[in-house]
Amino acid sequence: MTFTPDSQLDLLFPAERIPDETRRQLHSDFHLRPLASTDYRRGHLSVLSALSTVNDPGEDAWVTQFNTLRAVPCTYYTIVIIDKASDRIVATGTIFIERKFTRGLRSVAHIEDVAVDTSRQDKKLGLRIVQVLASITENSGCCMITGNCIDSNIPFYEKCGGEWRAHGMACGRASLYGC
C-alpha cells in the first residue's frame, strides 16, 4: 500500500497541533499525524489490541465513533504513527481534555490508549506518542495530565517522565457494559 499524505486524509484535528520537533525525532520510515477517518483500514484496532481486548465493531461503527469525537472540537486528540512502507498504523495514543470547575476553571488532560504494535516496541514509538500528547496538552492550556494504567505499564510511563501519585478506581457496574 502506498503512503497517504495528510493532505489527502480527513483528520480528527488539524495536523499543525503536532509539534514539528517531535516529528523530526522519528525515523524517516515513520510519519506521525492525527487519526484519520480511514484508519480503521490501516489497523487502528489491531494496534490497540496490543494494549487491551478490542471488540471490532465494524468499519461503519468505527467511522461513526470517529465523527462523534470530531464533533466535539478541542477535546479529543488521537494520534497515530504510520509505517510509510506499508501505510499501516504502528502506534497510537489519545488525550481528551476535561474542562473543570475546580483548578481555577482550567482543564485537565487524560491520557488513554497508548499502544504500540508488538513488533515495533523497541523503537521508542510509545515515548514519541506520549511526548506529542504532552505537548498538545501544554498548548491547550491544561494544568495537568492524568492517566490510569495497569501496574505492568507503570515503568513505561515513568520512562516518559510520569510520576505515580494516586490510585485509580473502576466501578463494578462498568464491567456490565463491556468496558
Distance in angstroms (rounded) separating the CA atoms of residues 106 and 102: 7
At 164, the amino acid letter reads: W
- For residue range 48-86, list pLDDT tens digits in order: 999 889 999 999 999 999 999 999 999 999 999 999 999
- For residue range 129-176, list pLDDT tens digits in order: 988 998 998 889 898 888 776 666 666 656 766 666 665 555 554 444
At 99, the amino acid letter reads: R
Beta strand residue intervals within the chain, DSSP E? 30-34, 76-83, 88-99, 107-116, 142-147
Contacts of 70 (CB under 8 A, 6+ apart): 12, 13, 76
C-alpha cell at 122: 523497541
Residue that wins the pLDDT comparison between 131 and 177: 131
Can you give the pLDDT at residue 170?
A: 53
- β-partners of residue 150 are none
Domains of the chain: 6-177 (3.40.630.30)
Of 82, 80, 83, whose CA–CA distance to 92 is shortest?
80
